[in-house]
Each structure stands twice: as structure tokens, then as C-alpha cells.
């Protein structure tokens, strides 16, 4: 299954957009999005220095525009991307690009929203001197305890080996002077404590802007940073986009969901590298590609051809859903093995159940729309990694 992901703030580097301007139609598209963003994205993406593109009001629209431009180059048009993607996800502001790729919001409306988001978060960040520090390695429980003891917030839980603390700069300095055991700390080049209560004013501004945006239900599986679950409706996606500004990013949960869905390939849109780096540990065995320049487009298209959801000559009669890890299986009521919905319709991305493992719940999501034709385990059965759970008849095979 092909997954496309869009990075968040902090991934940008000076000049990263320059090679993409050599493609037909990209300069014109970026110029149009620059008007919507209120920023000269072409100049910032080619000539802006590190300090200029660090500015939140500039960085966020620049990131979304770059991801959408590359998606258009890869798939022919952003509006066609969902047909080949088994799932889409974005990290922080990358969720706006992901929403457009999944057909939930138009690219132009995504740019209108990111303008408000970036400007509002920049304004909120200016109210107090705050920042973010990445913590790599160590024991996760000890890391989270140290963050809490310092009066900070775990704003990004990216993986078991990477948590980002956020809060007042003075308290970040205290944490950096007394790091948790076996960790490395790095202050991030961002302007404030994103995804914490310090961003509450930005949430209010974005909610007002979102009221005028038309949305549609996702046309492929679209994951949310809030808890890693698939979003089922356009209205739910929009509400989560607003709330997420002041809520922690659970990218680790997104990776767990992708593992449960059977992600076999991940393409990260530019400025790429961060999310494929995290996926290397979280999804061993998956084919990964960081799409940094147009020079990687041929390799990306090869991955699309090999892993996209509808590249087969025919739709399989059924798909096997398997346990993502060892634990105890529990079905959701709407899809319980007792037959309540044995012949009922299951939508793409719906949680048919979860595996309890060491106190954590790992969702098992339907990779496509269809009907469950056979349950292969009973409620509360112990399961092993890769053990078949159910057979799903895809909607297009009926």
C-alpha cells in the first residue's frame, strides 16, 4: 500500500524550492498560491535565508505549497493523487497538504487556511519567548517525566526515540542543562511553543477562517495527528485541523496506524527527509523515498506503480487483514465478529477493532471500502504479529 506524507515546520532549508521551478506550470502555480498566502513563495523558497524562512507566517505556506506542487508533479494533478494513495498523512502544518491530496479540501482553500494559521501562530508566538527542543534517545517514560518536571509540554511525540518538548525558553534551557539519561537534545529552529496552550489564540483565528471553507469527505484514508486515527468526514477533519494547533502531534500513533494498514511504501513530499527518517525505524521493511528534487520523480513513479492501490490489472476478490503485533484482539461494536455487521458496509479507514498490547491499543483499520466476509478470530482471542484477523471483500470487487 502506497502512503504519501507531508512534512511540518522545521523541515525547510534555504533554496529547497529552486529545482521544482524548472518543471512546467510550477512557477505559475506557485505564483497563484503566493497571492493566496500573501507571501512571495517563489522568492522565499529560492533566495530566502534561514532566518527568513524560519518565520512562521512564511514557513507554513511555503511548506504546504511545496508539498502540493510536488504532488501535482508526481501524480499529474493534486486532484488525482487520492486515486493511487492507500493513505495520506501530514505532520503538523503538513496536515493541510494531506487534506488536499485526500480530496477533503481544495488546494486553494488549503493555502487560504495556512495563511491564517501561519500568521495567527506567529502572532501567538510573539506574545512570549517560547520554543521547542527535540530529545533523541533515552527511555520514553523518563523523557516524558523530565519534560513534565521542567514545566514543559511534550508537543510532538514523533517516535519512541524522539519527543519534542515545548514551552518557555528559560525552562527549555533548564532541561537542556540537565537532560534525561542517554539522550541528545537539539533546540529547533521554530519561533514558538507550537502545539501547546500558548497557541490558543491561533486556534480561535483559524476556527473563524475555517467557517467559510467547503470540505468533502476524504476519498482515501486520511490520518489525524491528534491520535493517529483515520478521519471519516470532512467536517471532522476541519475541526481537528483547528484543534491541532494547540494539541500535541502524535506522529508515533500515525506510524502505528500505517503499520496496521500494511503500508508497504512511503513517499515523503518536499522538503523531504524528516518523516522518512522516522519511518525507517517505525516501519522496517517498507520502501521509503524522500522526494527532495524532481530528480527523484522517476524513482517515485516506480514506487507508485509497484505499490499504488489501483495499479493491479484487476481488483482482488478479497483482502486479508492481519494483526499489527502480538496481543489480544477486540472488535469494534460496529464490526464485531458476532455478526452484527458481518454483511454490513465498511468504509475505508474505519477501525474494525484493535489489538491490546502491554496496555496500549493498536487499531486495525480497513484499507479500503467493502464488506467483511469472514472473521478468522473470535473476540478477545490472543493474536501474533501478521496473524490473519478477517477477510474483506473490496467494494470495487463486488
Answer whether the bond into residue 271 is a cis peptide, omega within 30°: yes
Closest to 328 in 3D by CA, of 374, 369, 381, 277:
381
Q: Grid coordinates in use for 129?
A: 519567548
- Residues 325, 385 contacting (CB under 8 angstroms): yes
> Residue 136: CA atoms inside 13 Å, Cβ hemisphere, count?
7
| Cβ within 8 Å of residue 110, ≥6 positions away | 64, 68, 96, 97, 99, 100
Residues with catalytic annotation? 92, 195
The 388-394 sheet, strands edge to edge: 319-322, 388-394, 370-375, 345-346
Q: Where are the beta strands (DSSP E) in 53-179?
A: 87-90, 130-137, 153-159, 162-168
Set of cell numbers at residue 322: 492481519
Q: Determine the Cα–Cα distance for residues 179 and 332; give it in Å rounded to an integer.
A: 41
Q: How many CA atoms lie within 13 A of 234 on its CB side?
A: 17
Is residue 199 helix, strand or coil? helix
Amino acid at each position: 500500500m502506497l502512503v504519501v506524507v507531508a512534512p511540518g515546520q522545521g523541515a525547510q532549508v534555504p533554496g529547497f524550492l529552486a529545482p521544482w521551478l524548472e518543471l512546467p506550470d510550477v512557477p505559475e502555480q506557485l505564483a497563484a498560491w503566493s497571492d493566496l498566502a500573501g507571501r512571495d513563495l517563489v522568492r522565499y523558497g529560492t533566495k530566502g535565508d534561514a532566518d527568513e524562512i524560519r518565520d512562521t507566517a512564511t514557513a507554513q505556506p511555503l511548506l504546504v505549497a511545496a508539498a502540493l506542487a510536488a504532488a501535482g508533479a508526481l501524480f499529474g494533478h493534486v486532484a488525482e493523487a487520492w486515486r493511487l494513495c492507500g493513505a495520506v498523512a501530514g505532520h503538523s502544518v503538513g496536515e493541510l497538504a494531506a487534506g488536499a491530496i485526500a480530496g477533503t479540501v481544495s488546494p486553494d482553500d488549503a493555502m487560504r487556511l495556512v495563511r491564517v494559521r501561519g500568521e495567527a501562530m506567529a502572532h501567538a508566538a510573539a506574545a512570549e519567548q517560547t520554543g521547542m527542543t527535540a530529545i533523541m534517545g533515552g527511555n520514553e517514560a523518563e523523557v516524558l517525566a523530565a519534560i513534565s518536571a521542567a514545566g514543559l509540554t511534550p508537543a510532538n511525540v514523533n517516535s519512541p526515540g524522539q519527543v519534542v518538548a515545548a514551552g518557555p525558553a528559560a525552562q527549555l534551557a533548564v532541561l537542556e542543562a540537565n537532560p534525561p539519561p542517554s539522550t541528545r537534545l537539539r533546540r529547533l529552529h521554530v519561533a514558538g511553543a507550537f502545539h501547546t496552550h500558548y497557541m490558543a489564540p491561533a486556534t480561535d483565528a483559524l476556527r473563524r477562517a475555517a467557517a467559510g471553507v467547503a470540505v468533502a469527505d476524504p476519498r482515501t484514508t486520511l490520518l489525524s495527528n491528534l491520535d493517529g486515527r483515520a478521519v471519516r468526514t470532512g467536517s471532522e477533519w476541519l475541526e481537528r485541523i483547528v484543534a491541532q494547533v494547540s494539541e500535541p502531534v502524535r506522529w508515533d500513533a500515525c506510524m502505528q496506524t500505517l503499520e496496521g494498514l500494511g503500508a508497504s511504501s512511503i513517499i515523503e513530499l518536499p522538503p523531504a527527509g524528516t518523516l522518512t527518517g522516522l519511518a525507517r525505524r517505525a516501519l522496517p521493511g517498507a520502501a521509503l523515498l524522500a522526494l527532495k528534487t524532481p530528480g527523484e520523480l522517476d524513482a517515485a513513479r516506480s514506487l507508485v506503480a509497484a505499490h499504488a492501490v489501483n495499479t493491479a490489472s484487476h481488483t482482488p476478490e478479497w483482502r486479508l487483514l492481519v494483526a499489527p503485533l502480538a496481543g489480544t484482539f477486540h472488535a469494534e461494536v460496529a464490526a464485531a465478529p458476532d455478526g452484527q455487521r458481518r454483511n454490513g458496509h465498511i468504509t475505508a479507514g474505519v477501525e474494525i477493532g484493535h489489538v491490546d498490547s502491554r496496555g496500549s491499543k493498536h487499531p486495525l483499520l480497513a484499507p479500503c471500502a467493502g464488506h467483511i466476509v469472514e472473521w478468522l478470530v473470535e473476540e478477545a482471542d490472543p493474536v501474533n504479529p501478521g496473524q490473519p484477523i478477517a477477510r474483506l471483500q473490496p467494494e470495487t470487487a463486488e
